[in-house]
Amino acid sequence: MTRLLINIDHVATLRNARRETFPDPIAAARECLAGGAHGIVFHLREDRRHITDEDVRRLKSELDAKLDFELSTAEEIVSICIATQPELATLVPERREEVTTEGGLDVIANRNRLESVIPRLFDAGIAEVALFVDPDLDQIDACAASGANGIELHTGDYANASNWEERQYVLGRMAAAAERAHQNGLRVHAGHGLDLNNYPDFGAAVPHLYEVSIGFAVIARALFKGIRTSVSEMKQIVESTTYVN
């Protein structure tokens, strides 16, 4: 059964918009867990546009739950991740000008840096190191060669597909990438743009999904339904969707 992790970055974005102390992303994380989430995702960006160092400290010290620390390979952020020791570290590309993460990590081009960072994360006691990648088979093979033990498939192209034919094409690529990752011994995660409406087709088409990370769609729905209810609804969809071979 696929597990649901919730990204709380957008709660921190709202807080920071007014430079307030609320809404508290750690309190939101507790509500997500109360709604049935299996863990919490957060991205400590180099510019600290949403999650802050203090948020990271509190998430680790105050929550008894799986944490997925999303990070670039910048040395400062890698050092904070090592000190935090989350259960899962997900390495992602990062550009200052982007609104949200756009596209997967180029593992092939960044092989030397990744092969330096990944062993340090494992040596710190982090059980899972995943790479956020597009559904490209060469990139999947490079993930396995890098020493990571997982991938997170970037599902943005699927979520943003403009018509049925495009969506089916992307789903085929996603399914092939997940199968290749599984063959390489990599745990398969997925995320970016998934929601209540588009997840059923995705979950039915893509094999070996261990976890999915969903943030914006759940937090936005929570404005009207509440966090616990929004998480619970999303969890029900994820857990009731079965891969169709």
- 92/69 Cα distance (integer angstroms): 10
Q: Does residue 43 have an active-site annotation?
A: yes
Burial status of residue 30 (CB atoms within 10 A of its CB: 0-12, 13-18, 19 or more): middle
Of the chain, the end-to-end C-alpha distance in Å amounts to 15
Q: Which residue out of 38, 50, 70, 94 is catalytically annotated?
A: 70
Q: Are residues 244 and 6 in contact, defined by beta-carbon separation less than 8 angstroms?
A: no
CA 22 to chain centre: 24
Q: Which residues contact 204 (CB under 8 A, 6 or more apart)?
A: 241, 242, 243, 244
- CB burial of 107-131 (b: ≥16 within 10 Å; e: otherwise) equals beebeeebeebbeebeebebebbbb
Q: Which residues contact 177 (CB under 8 A, 6 or more apart)?
A: 133, 135, 136, 137, 140, 151, 153
Q: Which residue out of 10, 31, 38, 43 is catalytically annotated?
A: 43
Q: Which residue out of 31, 154, 192, 211 is catalytically annotated?
A: 192
Q: Are residues 212 and 199 in contact, defined by beta-carbon separation less than 8 angstroms?
A: yes
DSSP 128: E
| Structure tokens, 219 | 């937090």
Q: What positions carry a catalytic annotation?
A: 43, 70, 192
